Amino acid sequence: MLVYAGIDEAGYGPLLGPLCVGLSVFRVPCEADAPPDLWSLLKRAVSREPDARGKRIAVADSKALKLANSVTTRHPLVHLERGALSFLGCLGSAPDNDLGLCECLGARFERTPWYGGDASPVPLAHTPGEVAVSRSRLAAALEIAGVEVLALRCTAVSESEVNRAVRERHSKAEATMTALGAHLRRVADVAGGHGRAAIVCDRLGGRTSYRALLERELPGAAVSVVAESGAASCYEVHVGSRRIDVRFMPEAESHHLPVALASMLAKYVRELAMARFNRHWCGRLPDLKPTAGYRGDGWRWLRDAAPILSGEDRAALVRIA
């Protein structure tokens, strides 16, 4: 058996809102060196793109699954939410609000007024019954394939943490690396009772060397470089008696289902955070148009919200890189 994990982020580039880093971990039957194709193993219940008949759960890059906010026929989060809640259900979690969902995933928002307020119901785009049907179909496919969901997590890196990384370490990527390190340690702990592990991460910008990062975030680990190239950066990591193969590669979410699911979790949590953000500020200025926080519209939002923003507010909510 193999512990097979994926890590990906959402919200690296925006001006407003948190940077979220997702993790999904599976136990899969595997005798070969390379992890199996989970899309193929779970084809009874999952697909790489939305199923026109609505029977299978789309698991893919979150950017491909998040619908435009201008779409009026379906909720923009319809595909992300179905995947996140169905897989969480296979861990025995059935949150009925955004705070409960974040608790299940270990995501915590910064303690600011714009992320506060009462819990908001989920699901947003489905009925609980629809989610239950998807979860049941997925659970059956997992059982038939001999695959088990071991962990689903998301770290929400706050605006202040992103800004601190830029000021102190002169790199926004450090904010992602810190969250990634916590996920690496979690996989190492989970793998302790299951043998060999493989972790696939989406590449961090144009970086090709990760040995120093792995040694820093996995203290005491022995890290060997297998390959470092534009196609992939691969490492063999020994933590005590445990062996973990770690791979960083571009477009990893297109090749590894756990990375795609991690991307979906990260995006879903970020969207829930921005919903809280917009509820707070639009409540104070009813004519204010909501924002997703990306740079072009983020600057527009800051201009429109200027009458209600204090200097302290602006310093706390704007990411400096």
Tell me the HSE value of 156 on the side-chain side, using a 13 A CA sphere. 26
Q: Specify the length of the chain in residues.
A: 321
What is the b/e burial string over 268-302, where b = at least 16 CB atoms within 10 angstroms of the residue's CB? bbbbbbbebbbbebeeeeeebeebbbeeebbeebb
Q: Give residue 307's identity as a one-letter amino acid code.
A: P
The model carries a pTM of: 0.97
Q: Which residues of the chain have pLDDT under 70?
A: 193-194
Q: Which residue has the tokens 């297998």?
A: 226
pLDDT tens, residue by residue, 248-264: 999 999 999 999 999 99
Please tell me the predicted confidence (pLDDT) of residue 194.
62
Q: Where are the domains of the chain?
A: 2-194+253-317
Please tell me the predicted confidence (pLDDT) of residue 193.
64
> Alpha-carbon distance 271 to 161, whole Å?
19
**Alpha carbon of residue 146 to chain centroid:** 24
> Alpha-carbon distance 120 to 275, whole Å?
9
Instruction: Please say whether the structural domain 2-194+253-317 has been given the CATH code 3.40.50.
Output: no
